[in-house]
Structure 1
């Protein structure tokens, strides 16, 4: 067992734990914290897989920006004081059994796969440079369309927020 494999297993378990906690928590702030935990674990997985650029983007965009935007969205919107209604204990146990069965099924499927033992050949090229070349040569049109789409979404959000303020007055 190599150190990379151990780090991968630990980060994968952390990501699964964070995702499970995010689904099971009832308070929205706790859900966002669990989701941030999951995003950080996934960024660690990218670093282990030698995709440093994607790992940094994961940290900057998802862990930082989107989590903060979600927290602001939660804090700026109206919520009832009561949490979501707790489900029955029998359903929780049934769902737990389903999750354990699904996990066992996935583990058995993973162990039955014949994984190749061929070594990975690293080209030596900086992956950030390779992503930049692809982004600005082959994918420049989708990149620009995405920037226009994000701009339209931002303007729409501003218009909707101004409209809500005018309705409150």
Structure 2
């Protein structure tokens, strides 16, 4: 087993662990940190795929911005600090069995796939390729999405603005 495979399995384990912890925690702030942990692990997987730009965007946008936005949302809203009631034991056991069955079916399906030859040559200028593709082939959709996001931002500000009357 090479170091690349070991790194993949470690990062995949961390990504799945973060997702499972997010689902099993009861406090929302703990859930957010578990999701951030999972996002960082996914960024590591992007690095293994030689997609460094996507990994940096993953860290900046998801791990940074989305996680901080969720923390601010929690801090600015009223909520009870008490934990929710624990789920029933039978429900947790049934959920565990469903997840285990899903994992077994996925493992069985993956074992039967013929993956073909492994591609080892990647383009070294992947950021340049992304930029050229984005601004040459997809310029109009890119600008339309930016206008749509601006309209959504203005609409959110108008909706959040308090009505004085």
TM-score by structure 2 length? 0.92
Aligned to 2:76: 76
Q: Residues 72, 142 of structure 1: CA spacing in aligned structure 2 closer, same or farther, 3 A cutoff?
A: same
The change in CA–CA distance for 1:118 and 1:87 in structure 2 (over 3 A counts) is closer
* In 2, Cα distance between equivalents of 1:86 and 1:160: 36
Which residue does the alignment assign to 1:91? 91
Bigger mean CA offset, 62-71 vs 152-161: 152-161
Distance verdict in 2 for CA 1:9–1:53, change over 3 Å:
same
Task: Check conservation: 2:23, 2:31, Cα contact below 8 A.
Answer: yes
Partners in 2 of 1:150 and 1:66 — Cα distance? 16
Alignment of 1:95-134 (within 5 A): 95-124=95-124, 126-134=125-133
Question: Using the alignment, how far apart are the partners of 1:43 and 1:82 within structure 2?
Answer: 33
Q: Please state whether the residue corresponding to 1:143 is helix, strand or coil.
A: helix
C-alpha spacing 1:162/1:114, structure 2 compared with 1 (3 Å): same
Note if contact 2:15-2:39 (Cα within 8 Å) is conserved in structure 1: yes
> How far 1:64 moved relative to its partner?
0.4
Counterpart CA distance in 1 for 2:123 and 2:60 is 26
2:40 aligned residue? 40
Distance, in Å, in 2 between the alignment partners of 1:102 and 1:17 is 16
Name 2:21's counterpart in structure 1: 21
Report how many aligned residue pairs link the two structures: 165
* Cross-structure match for 1:158: 157
The match for 1:55 is: 55
Unaligned runs of 5+ in 1: none
Shift of 1:97: 1.1
